[in-house]
Amino acid sequence: GEPGLTEVRVATMADKPVRRILAVGSGKGGVGKSTLAANLAVALSRLGRKVGLVDADIYGPSQARLLGTEGQRPVAHESRLVPVASAFGVPVLSMANLLEPGQAIAWRGPMVAGALTKMLEGHWDNAEIVVVDLPPGTGDVQLTMLQKFKPAGAVIVSTPQDLALMDATRAVELFQKSGVPIVGVVENMAGYACPHCGEVSDPFGAGGAEAAARDMGQAFLGRIPLDIAIRRDSDAGKPPAAGEGSQAEAFAALAAKVSD
C-alpha cells in the first residue's frame, strides 16, 4: 500500500491499467519544481517503480532539457502520443519535444487544456506512476488536471522564503479543496552547499517550509540544498538523481517517502 497515494483510474482510459498521477506543484515559478519533478521521477525509477513524466508546464516546458531528450520527437500510435524514451528510465512527454527549439506558444486556455489532455492520454500503459510537472500557480492547467485527470496525490515545492511559502500555501489549498491528498511539502534551495567542502550553510534561514507544512497539517518530506552541481547537471541534461553522491541521496530519500 501507499499511504497518501490512493489509486485512481484515469477517467478517459477506463480500459487501461490503473495508474497513479503524482502532481508536482508550486505556488510560484523558479522554486525548482521542474527540477524536483524530473529528479523525483528518476529516483522513483531507481527504486524500481515504473515511472513516466508529463511536463504540464505548457508555456515553459523544461523536461526535454532536464532529461536530455531535446530534439527527440514523440510519434503517434493509434492517435495517442508515444512518450519519448530518456536515458534515465523515465519516458517523458513535454511540449519541448513537440515544438521547434525556441518556438514560442501563444495559446488560449482551451488549447492548453487540449495539449495537456493529449500528453496525459499518451501511451502510459506501462507506467505505475505518472509524475506531472505542473505550471506554477493555479490556472487552466491545474483546473484541467483536477477535473479531468484527478491526481492521486500532490507534492508541493517551495523555497524557504516567506513569500514563496505563502504562495505554496495557496497551492496546497487548491488541491485540498479538490480532494487531492497532499503527499507533502519539499523545501528546495534550503541552505547553500559549499562547492569546495560540501558543507551546507543557511543564508535564507532554515526550517521555514517545515514549519509552514506543520501549520497546514501537512507532511514535510525533506529539503534539497542550493547546490551548484544540481544546476550544472540539470542544465546538461543529466539529472543529479541519476548520479552518485549527496544530491542523488537527497532525491532518493524523497522518492522513498513518496513511494512507500
Residue nearest to ligand ADP (CB): 32
26 is a site residue for ligand ADP (CB under 6 A): yes
Residue 8 and residue 165 in contact, taking contact as beta carbons nearer than 8 Å: no
Answer for which of 5, 35, 119, 165 binds ligand ADP (CB under 6 A) is 35
Write down the H helix ranges in the chain: 33-46, 63-66, 109-120, 140-148, 162-177, 208-215, 228-235, 246-259
From 23-31, 148-156, 202-210, 215-223, span contacting ligand ADP (CB under 6 A): 23-31
CA-based Rg of the chain, rounded to a whole angstrom?
Answer: 17
Residues at the annotated binding site for ATP?
27-34
Q: Is 2 exposed, middle or buried (0-12, 13-18, 19+ CB in 10 A)?
A: middle
Answer for which of 224, 241, 242, 255 binds ligand ADP (CB under 6 A) is 224
230 is a site residue for ligand ADP (CB under 6 A): yes
Binding pattern for the stretch 55-94 against ligand ADP, x by CB under 6 A and - elsewhere: -------x--------------------------------
- From CA 68, how far away is CA 255, in angstroms rounded? 21
226 is a site residue for ligand ADP (CB under 6 A): yes
Nearer to ligand ADP, 62 or 121 (CB): 62
- CA-angle at 175, arms to 169 and 177, nearest 5°: 100
Residues at the annotated binding site?
27-34
142 is a site residue for ligand ADP (CB under 6 A): no
Binding pattern for the stretch 180-209 against ligand ADP, x by CB under 6 A and - elsewhere: --------xx--------------------
- From CA 248, how far away is CA 42, in angstroms rounded? 10
32 is a site residue for ligand ADP (CB under 6 A): yes
Name which of 67, 74, 50 is nearest 130 in CA terms.
50
Answer for which of 6, 8, 13, 29 binds ligand ADP (CB under 6 A) is 29
**Shortest Å, Cβ 233 to ligand ADP:** 9
239 is a site residue for ligand ADP (CB under 6 A): no
Residue 4 and residue 175 in contact, taking contact as beta carbons nearer than 8 Å: no
Other Cβ atoms within 10 Å of 124 Cβ, number: 26
Residue with cell 488536471: 145
Positions in the binding site for ligand ADP (CB under 6 A): 26, 29-35, 62, 188-189, 224, 226-227, 230-231, 234
